[in-house]
Structure 1
């Protein structure tokens, strides 16, 4: 669970991930802390060591935009990570509310995408809707309800994902990005709370405070019926529904993976699974 000093927690986690060599400083062998020391971050950011310490300890809670930009540069934060720092360090005047209902028009659009797996996820990575191909692709999981719970709580995930470590890392960084966009979201907090208790692997990755929205990547799956499948993933923001993304997988034309998708379509056409997913608020445990 989060502390009441999120800015300090974030700064400490990010500082621990930067080595002196990364920022052009001498790296002695007798260092007592992983990553940079507080005085080194202060030096790089052009602020006093005392001021930076007060920021990390939560005794200074009103940093200026200029100071935050300097610290973001010192910690080598990319756009998403720097944006999270600004949301933590500057007053929030308006908070977006994540949408949970999927528009019927979007459901019809997915139903028409018969050759590729497509599904809609919410801010907490709940699967809010999915077409038949997506359900067939993920059919080996006990529940197709929340991508984080599937990855960390269902043993099948380690068989399904060829590189489970990367899948887990990417999923947690993406959830961090969502939590930054929707601070205080009840559903995100419930997922984080559950997984922090039930999955040490999740808790360790969550503590790293890496913020990286997932927009596109190449995926390698092992499907129990069609074998190895290599797919390209695209996440398209649903602008009419904050926090929702339409996720679509595709295969290289003429490839073995394209043939595997064709076999998945045959299997999907033999079934009659409904498109809209069950209510993600249900908290049934994933069965092993």
Structure 2
């Protein structure tokens, strides 16, 4: 049976993978019968990107205390052959410890790779007070000093600190997005969910030492408030109606975008979200979208009512 999962800021509808228990004959979910095997983390995969996006959709922004800011930390591409994944994660751990000593309350980070193989780190942080320019400078300088002590030349000019003034705008990777923690994380999740085919996700673009065991490519603090998702099992007619309703909502949201180029790209993406060239897979293809929980619940009610007016 399919399952519809409603989170604080997103929704997904997927077909459960099931199998028959050879001892009891009972039909059970694959994850319950055979938990996924833990293996060495090898960078971005489709499963890693999906788990990241779903976790981002669970963050309860209303319950997060602190002043939000967006930080980008980089490393020199010309020396990446000398930097192992273990070294990077040790630096990240030490930098977070420095931040905690100076008022860090919560954080969420995502690691990306540029075409040169240069990793850069995006962090959304929540602080116990609004940091002034000197405090921001010291935080970035602490990262640069850490790398320099390991004979890795880092430049202060390559590090970025941006306050998130809710209601304004912020630049992320050269693109302007509304200044709100949720919108920043949505942007990062969109990039993280591009898939392994994108150049920032391809293993070939990672430093050689990272390709076998990169370590985690996203993470957050244990205390970050999360809202538990609601899982609803349904029949296939409801599943199919719900997919169409979510697609319709996505198209409506895409049409409301002011910028014509972004609107066109978003509309095309929304219209194609259910397309699949393989007819045997198409009826079971899942759907995932950033949808407010109240909207997702309303769409579920409409899908469960069924009938010819459920999608109006």
Same-fold call, TM > 0.5? no
More helix by percentage: 1
TM-score normalised to the size of structure 1? Answer: 0.27
More strand by percentage: 2
